[in-house]
Amino acid sequence: DRGLTEKTAATRNGMVIYMESGSELTVIDSGADRVNKGSVTDGVWYNDENGTTEIKGGVITGGHNLTDGGAFYLEDKTSLVLSGGTIAGNMANDGGGVQIEGGTSKLQMSENTAIMYNRAKGEIYGGGGICTDGTSITIAGGNVKNNTAKYGGGIYCYKDDVSIIGVNIENNTATMDGG
């Protein structure tokens, strides 16, 4: 069994991996499972200003946060590259799968990457799969499907300059607007 499980104790502020400004990380064929249940902080992975995270394969599932980013919280000029693998079954107020805030950021996914079955349960924003807030972002490739939220079941964008290129977005559900 490879990856991070609910028994993982290497956390900072409830996060499994916290990356300071300018950090780079590559994770290959690993994953995280129920590692962040009930945390009031952000995401399984937190990537601060000017950082890059690359995930090659694996599954990130079961992240449950009371704020933003069930699996990933990216802040200010960060990049997340997903080469295969799945982000599924995560939950947060906003950005059930991925939350991206501030600066110019990039989310690059290969065609065999899926952000699916995530849930944003917040009342103000949403983004069951992906939530962006106050950023200039490019979201490219991959699949965003079967996510749920009040607003933007698949992707919710707030005060953003967004480019979505070659993303398969399907079967997402919103109880108010933007399924």
Q: How confident is the model at residue 105 (pLDDT cuts 50, 70, 90)?
A: confident
What was the pLDDT predicted at 71? 84
CA angle 13, 64, 134 (to 5 degrees): 75
Which whole number is the average pLDDT over 23-30?
54
What was the pLDDT predicted at 33? 46
As a whole number of angstroms, the distance between CA 61 and CA 66 comes to 16
Sign of CA dihedral 156, 109, 83, 19: negative
Q: What is the pLDDT of residues 117-145, one digit of tens each?
A: 999 998 878 899 999 888 888 899 999 99
As a whole number of angstroms, the distance between CA 37 and CA 87 comes to 16
As a whole number of angstroms, the distance between CA 24 and CA 40 comes to 25
Taking residue 38's Cβ as centre, other Cβ atoms within 10 Å add up to: 8
Which whole number is the average pLDDT over 79-102?
88
Residue 26 has pLDDT above 80, yes or no: no
Of 40 and 68, the one with more pLDDT: 68
Q: Give residue 10's Cα distance to chain centre.
A: 20
pTM above 0.75, yes or no: yes
